[in-house]
A and B are shown apart, each in its own frame.
Chain A
């Protein structure tokens, strides 16, 4: 009897299972997908957000809301301050765990970002896997784009990054967590992807400050170079390619080189694998860095404008592969060396993290150079070694066959 009464008393405990202390229903949330940061008058910071109504991850039959991209903005002394200001006119709880992009305007980036970003690193709700972008000029135009191909702003950023990584390799996309690491290290200066707007009618990247046309898409446009936490310059898409190759971060990409048979023609090499070994040390007071880049590629495209060699037998020529590889090696070596020289003179930014490597591997040596690292970086001697492995010419023979004229 006692047991029965006791088990009846357990039933009210089931009420606990219905939810937590302060549960929040999905419709009370506003999903935050992009955050734009820009400097405002009076040393303030302006935060712009893309808010999306909660979408069901499974098909429910209900039509998705017409407008997925709602924009709100506010200014404040700090980011968090501005975010709370946004709550003054957005009567929903801002939901940070789905954050996809943190977009930083040029003015703010030039003035220094590290002191502002603290809340993004400190708050557990903010997704540290979000991507970071820098815009040329203000971030404002980015939020005026009405994307046509992919309308969901969260998916848009992910697919932009994915296509960059899978096909392009011309911009260094970076996650918020890695941005934090690179900002914090005194021996490394971040290189971050630059976000621009593609004018669909004029078929070009919109210059900063121009009016956003009705037909436009987001586009990645090279990379931004920082010195400590301040923006100092830009890398063109080609320079970004060399940067990615030197870091061993390029997944795929196409690099055209002069054709080995006839330099007037072009051969496009599709990179299918890239890794890089980086080593640095202090030798007799001067930093030395060694970069060994390994690349696997395929012949992706031949542009035979001028007369080209033909083959009489259905043989693949190993010598041709070697020459293709050599051509690419020469181009990449020259490109990487030029980029590094530029980083030493123009940017004065340790983009590959020579100092970071020395700091991690030789802490005592780092103590000697730490105070004066910028000067030491200018004197760093780089040794770039590139090894290209051409695996195949895809599904066609590398040289076209000779076809007799039927006379």
Chain B
């Protein structure tokens, strides 16, 4: 099957977009809630945990250059078990897209358009995701080239503008550490960043396979650095209480930011950028779902699997009825504790062990 090619820089930028997209709005509050001023340490620990997992994924990908996990799972485990793993991955991609879709729709509804029904956002975004997946990974990567730099620039400058309003002592690291709280705070970032498992499917699209490792690590480290910057900025500006009581501190900060005493309420800007970034993430995940499904069933083209996605994505995203359900059940429990550990650590670890036993080069 002919796979489209992207350069290693595009690969890095895609990694940044995907690992930053959803977490940047919902993660800081979760970390600060537990780790308080030591949020940076929690993020550091979370990143280290993710780095260990990524090294595992990279070791596996290096053993089978030019192939995706679905393809070498079938080599290692035989066609039947391999296809089962492929289906698991396809479902995982579909599930994560659905969760992300619902979170975006709910956040728009809560903070921007409270009277608009949820299905309008969900339907629109699923159409967008499926259409861009239809075009392939190359256009998505090019769109990402256009969107990511202004996105980071504007978000970064808003944070920098807000910093003078902060108080230093609210965010300085403290020496009296509470280790259990930090470990609790390290779990959400580790779980969120482990969405980077998508490299197992996207690795064959890289035009220079030998740069896979550096491209992935660069992306991951940048995302983690940016998240740390964002979280600490929230602590400096909002303080522990306000940064942990509001669901989306980023929106709070950008709404209250006052620039030249005239400009206020930048939250629509931040939200727009965030939606754009998430639209890219949705597109990549939808594309990867279709690609995984196509490789599992040995189809020539992945496009046939996109039409069912157009049907299932909105249905999936409309099941969670409220914010508590999506955050506690779908995200914290199923995504963080079941799906992501399985596809990021357990299955790749298993395959790596089998590959070692079977002496694959």
Determine whether the beta carbon of B176 is less than 8 Å from that of A362: yes
Residues of A146-186 whose CB lies within 8 A of B: 177, 180-181, 184-185
A:69-88 near B, CB below 8 Å: none
User: How far apart are the CA atoms of A97 and B265 in the complex, in Å?
Assistant: 9
Query: Does B116 lie within 8 Å of A22, measured CB to CB?
Result: yes
Contacts of B240 in A (CB 8 A): 360
Whether, in the assembled complex, A128 has its beta carbon less than 8 Å from a beta carbon of chain B, the answer is yes
Is A363 a contact partner of B178 (Cβ separation < 8 A)?
yes
Contact with B along A357-369 (1 / 0, CB 8 A): 1001111110000
**CB interface residues, A 241-283, toward B, < 8 Å:** 278
Bound CA span A357–B36, Å: 14
With a CB–CB cut-off of 8 A, which chain A residues contact B252? 128
Tell me the count of chain B residues lying within 8 A, CB to CB, of chain A.
27
Please encode chain B, from 19 to 32, with 1 for each CB lying within 8 Å of some chain A CB and 0 for all others: 00000000000000
* Set B115, B176, B241, B251: member contacting A184, Cβ < 8 A: B241
Within 105-148 of A, Cβ neighbours of B (below 8 Å) are at 124, 127-129
- Tell which of B116, B172, B256 has the most Cβ of chain A within 10 Å: B256
Q: Most B CB atoms within 10 A — which of A124, A127, A362?
A: A124
Instruction: Report how far A342 CA is from B252 CA in the complex, Å.
Output: 36
Q: How far is the CA of A278 from the CA of B242 in the complex (A)?
A: 21
Query: CA–CA, A215 to B183, complex, Å?
Result: 63
Q: Is the CB of B174 within 8 A of A363?
A: yes
Q: Does A21 contact B (CB under 8 A)?
A: yes
CB interface residues, A 348-386, toward B, < 8 Å: 357, 360-365
Given contacts A20-B113, A128-B256, contact A360 B37 (CB under 8 A): yes
Residues of chain B within 8 A of A185, CB atoms compared: 239, 241
> Do residues B241 and A129 form an inter-chain contact, with CB atoms below 8 A?
no
Does the CB pair A177–B241 fall under 8 Å? Answer: no
Q: In whole Å, how far is A96's beta carbon from the nearest beta carbon of chain B?
A: 12
| Chain A: interface residue total (CB-CB under 8 A) | 21
Q: Which residues of B lie under 8 Å from residue A360 when comparing CB positions?
A: 37, 169-170, 172, 174, 239-240
Beta-carbon contacts under 8 Å, B99-121 to A: 110-111, 113, 115-116, 120
> Would you call B211 an interface residue if the criterion is a C-beta within 8 Å of the partner chain's C-beta atoms?
no
* B242 near A181: Cβ-Cβ < 8 Å: yes
Complex contact A361–B169 (CB within 8 A): yes
Q: Check A21 against B116 for contact (C-beta < 8 Å).
A: yes
Query: Contact: A177 with B174, CB < 8 Å?
Result: no
Bound Cα distance A362, B176 (Å): 6
User: Scoring B residues 246 to 278 as 1 if CB is less than 8 Å from chain A, else 0, what string do you get?
Assistant: 000001100110100000110000000000000
Other-chain contact of B174, A20, A128, A278, A361 (Cβ < 8 Å): A361
Interface residues of chain B, those whose CB is within 8 Å of chain A, are: 36-37, 110-111, 113, 115-116, 120, 169-170, 172, 174, 176, 178, 238-242, 245, 251-252, 255-256, 258, 264-265
List 30 A-B pairs, Cβ < 8 Å.
Answer: A20-B113, A20-B116, A21-B113, A21-B116, A22-B115, A22-B116, A97-B265, A124-B110, A124-B111, A124-B251, A127-B264, A128-B252, A129-B256, A129-B264, A177-B256, A180-B242, A181-B238, A181-B239, A184-B241, A184-B242, A184-B245, A278-B169, A360-B37, A360-B169, A360-B172, A360-B240, A361-B172, A362-B176, A363-B174, A363-B176
